[in-house]
Amino acid sequence: MDRPVGEKSSGAPTIVEVDLGNRSYPTDIGSGLLDQPELLQKHVHGKKVIVVTNTTIAPLYLDKVVEALTKGNPAVSVEYVILPDGEKFKDMDTLMKVFDKAIESRLDRRFTFVALGGGVIGDMCGFAAASFLHGVNFIQIPTTVMAQVDSSVGGKTGINHPLGKNLIGAFYQPQCVLIDTDTLDTLPDRELASGLAEVIKYGLIRDAEFFEWQEKNMEKLIASNISYTSTVVLSSLLQGIFLQAYMQSGVVNCRNPNALAYAIKRSCENKAEVVSLDEKESGLRATLNLGHTFGHAIETGFGYGQCLHGEAVAAGTVMAVDMSYRLGWIDSSIVKRVDDILPRAKLPTASPETMTVEMFKSVMALDKKVADGLLRLILLKGPLGNCVFTDEQLSNNF
């Protein structure tokens, strides 16, 4: 499974199978996969395809994807809908644009939706595929690390509600996920770092060996072309600590595509295993939410799009790790290792100072992990790579 780190992979993809009975599907990972039309075409049903993408990704990859879908396959016709880019457009109005396009194109049940973009596009296109005509075929081509290692795996699709993130959606599995790691060449550095928050999470909750690999290889994963001055693009809302995390990041290194491919593959394997054991999140799957309860509160408190998902998750992870330590469930070396690795991944280690306890409480009461008024938190417990669920009264842990 491990190619020499430093060389680009090519040729046949590495395949991670998501095992869900008759809804199982492959995740193809590798370089140059969009240049291999058969990888996509074998999963297209019917004669019509609609690609859902956004204004950022369309100029970069839409032509390439249309070519991959149609090359040597003249019977297929491809249409597309280009949505505005950003989490704030992950809403019902934008979703309706996808339905409008599908109806306007006179699509029938035997057509295929293709999501080309990051998590927002994947979630919205997936929910459209789940809901249009009670469910049609669906292929994911995630173009961000976040989408590749997290949101494209496991079939959670949906949109936001003004009062909370991902409150409306469906579990819906794609025909396949195609991860062409070359699409990361155009991914902004801050977006790449955001995805690494989820990569680090897999190590913490269930894969100590992977975490150790990351400790050895983090500089091979991170962005190459960030400059200190570019950090000022961070919203002024994200004061102090967020910026501090960026300023602390040390030597500038080159991204290593094979290291990234390995991190993506291993992350997908971890998520696929969890999802195959608990597709509908009745238990185990919720452990993937380490740092997310606090993280969602940070995102919601600030309004979507002000900080990236992974940045909020990183800050939330530190809060969860801190709570785990204060409960005596982990020793201080784990706290230190988390505090060390996050800045190396150019991620923040604390929530913005403007986020008050009251803001956390108010937003977290709406979290999906609240059951009958009890807030369920994912905390670490025991040696590195172990976590637990805990039912906590909202009022007791601040």
* Interface with a second copy (CB under 8 A): 46-48, 92, 96, 99-100, 103-104, 106, 108-110, 127, 130-135, 156, 158, 161, 163-164, 166-171, 280-281, 365-366, 368, 370-373
CB of 341 to a second copy, least distance (A): 31
Nearer to a second copy, 42 or 106 (CB): 106
Nearer to a second copy, 8 or 23 (CB): 23
Nearer to a second copy, 297 or 380 (CB): 297
Residue 27, classed as helix, strand or coil, is: strand
Phi, psi of 228 (to 5 degrees): -55, -40
Other Cβ atoms closer than 10 A to 378: 25
The structure tokens 């025991």 sit at 382
CB of 285 to a second copy, least distance (A): 11
Nearer to a second copy, 254 or 374 (CB): 374
Nearer to a second copy, 92 or 254 (CB): 92
Burial string for 29-42 (b: 16+ CB within 10 Å, else e) reads bbbebbebeebbbe
> Minimal CA–CA distance to 245: which of 360, 352, 325, 354?
352
Nearer to a second copy, 206 or 285 (CB): 285
CB of 169 to a second copy, least distance (A): 5
Please name the residue ranges forming H helices in 284-384: 292-302, 309-326, 332-344, 357-364
CB of 113 to a second copy, least distance (A): 13
Phi, psi of 266 (to 5 degrees): -70, -35
CA distances to 3, 43, 195, 337, 341 from 216, in Å: 16, 37, 18, 12, 10
DSSP 158-192: EEEETTEEEEEEEE---SEEEEEGGGGGGS-HHHH
CB of 280 to a second copy, least distance (A): 7
Nearer to a second copy, 161 or 336 (CB): 161
Nearer to a second copy, 156 or 344 (CB): 156
Nearer to a second copy, 12 or 133 (CB): 133
Other Cβ atoms closer than 10 A to 132: 19
CB of 356 to a second copy, least distance (A): 20
- Dihedral sign computed on CA atoms, order 280, 283, 289, 294: positive
DSSP 370: E
To 5 degrees, how large is the angle CA 338–CA 342–CA 345? 145
Tokens of 222: 């991170």
CB of 96 to a second copy, least distance (A): 6
CB of 302 to a second copy, least distance (A): 19
Burial string for 275-286 (b: 16+ CB within 10 Å, else e) reads bbeebebeeebb
CB of 95 to a second copy, least distance (A): 9
User: Distance between CA 68 and CA 309 in Å, rounded?
Assistant: 30
CB of 319 to a second copy, least distance (A): 21
| Under 8 Å between Cβ of 73 and 12 | no
Alpha-carbon 394 to chain mean position = 27
Nearer to a second copy, 49 or 179 (CB): 49
